[in-house]
Amino acid sequence: MLDIRAIRSDPEAVKASLARRGIDTSDIDAVVALDARRRDLVTTRDAVRAEIKTLSKQVGRLRGTGDESAAEASMARSRALGAEADALEAAETAVAAELDALLLGIPNVIHADAPDGISDADNPVVEMVGDIDGFADHQRVPHWETGAALGILDTERATKITGSMFVMLRGAGATLSRALCQLALDRNADAFEEIRPPSLVSTATLTASGQLPKFADDAYAVERDDLWCIPTAEVPLTSIAAGEILDSAELPMRFMAYSPCYRREAGAAGRDTRGMLRAHEFDKVEILSLATPEQAPAMLDELVHRAEATIATLGLTYRIIEICSGDLGQSHHRSFDIEVYAPGCDMWLEVSSVSWFSDYQARRANIRYRPAPSADDPRPATRMVHTLNGSALAVPRVWAAIVETYRNPDGTVTVPEVLRPYMRGITVIGA
């Protein structure tokens, strides 16, 4: 959620930033008008309440002098003003609710250094490691074919059990999935506190991270209990400090979490829904930080480096792209994606998105910190933290790229060396 004070003080600057997304910015004008209306109502209501307070004192004095007629007149006036104050309060509440609903739908402002563009076709490649033309024919077999042949990917029975776009990993395939999660946790355990958050969250928690109201149709709801299945561990991790005031000495905070993730992926039936490319349920390790505005740029670099280093240690061909203004998510201030090349699919697959949200999420969750006092400011006011997060490793597409990249001429799959300590002695996955 954007800071209403920033909109109030310089609406044109906010509109200029949002215009880089290629969206209609008229909602900012509506926000300015509603904000002015709400403040007028508050001013008028408070003036009426002050008059009621004055009349109350007046009634006491008049009765003290025995002037009951004047006292009754003042009381009548006070009752009338009370009804007016109640009406003003109700009007202010309604306007405030309309204003909040509008603010919830307005995207974040964009970092000045984020590239301009209209769609994902305009996302510039920042770095590329590997050669997509250097793969042999035996590596250019889709992972769903190799997975079925080896008995490690069983989409047919997953569909029987649950429905389409669910997958089931078996044997060494399931072990490989778990190994990837443990690798990601171990590689970040030097600086990140491991959390195992709930997989179900409240509406308020899902709203705080920016998933609601915009992405309600993409989420799985447990309507009976007003709970939601998390689409990513980002959601509960973001709200760990919701409603709290942190000490600046505690920042930056670093959290990591393994969790299952649930998403109603809306991809059309076809090539991008085969195998592990797009699924309604998958495993992921998330890394997240709460930081001061000054710490946030360096933290963004750290999260990108950590996600990249894990992919690099797996020996996959990958690239890093920066997300342009027209492709940024609603909550994103600046964002980078890491994509791996899957030779069997002949596709670049997004496996990590690392994002800086400025104070957009923290404002929704009301996460603040108190800066350290100084000689110039011995009692500093609280400020909103900045939130940043990234996928340390999302299993499905990394799993797919490994099965394709490490496929041998005889159809077996060699386990990347870095994963072997987690594979119970399996070095080659065979039928």
Contact 284, 259 (CB under 8 A): yes
Q: How far, rounded to the nearest angstrom, does the alpha carbon of residue 349 sit from its chain's CA centroid? A: 20
Residue 51: the pLDDT is: 92
Residue 219 parent element (H or E): none
Contact 277, 401 (CB under 8 A): no
Which segments of 66-188 are extended strands (E)?
125-129
Q: What is the CATH number of domain 4-104?
A: 1.10.287.40
* Ordered per-residue pLDDT tens for the chain, 431 residues: 999 999 999 999 999 999 999 999 999 999 999 999 999 999 999 999 999 999 988 888 888 888 888 888 888 989 999 999 999 999 999 999 999 999 999 999 999 999 999 999 999 999 999 999 999 999 999 999 999 999 999 999 999 999 988 999 999 999 999 999 999 999 999 999 999 999 999 999 999 998 888 888 889 999 999 999 999 999 999 999 999 999 999 999 999 999 999 998 754 455 477 889 989 999 999 999 999 999 999 999 999 999 999 999 999 999 999 999 999 999 999 999 999 999 999 999 999 999 999 999 999 999 999 999 988 888 999 999 999 999 999 999 999 999 999 999 999 999 999 999 999 999 999 98
Ordered by start, the domain boundaries in the chain are: 4-104, 120-429
Residues 6+ apart with CB under 8 A from 242: 204, 205, 208, 365, 366, 367
Residue 266: the pLDDT is: 56
Amino acid letter for position 248: S
Distance CA 429, CA 302 (A): 34
Domains 4-104 and 120-429 equal at CATH topology level: no
Residue 267: the pLDDT is: 47
Give me 98's structure tokens. 């309309």
Amino acid letter for position 256: M
Residue 321 phi/psi, 5-degree rounding, is -120, 150
Q: CA-based Rg of the chain, rounded to a whole angstrom?
A: 28
Which superfamily is assigned to 120-429 in CATH?
Answer: Bira Bifunctional Protein; Domain 2 (3.30.930.10)
Residue 59: the pLDDT is: 83
Residue 68: the pLDDT is: 83
Distance CA 322, CA 209 (A): 21
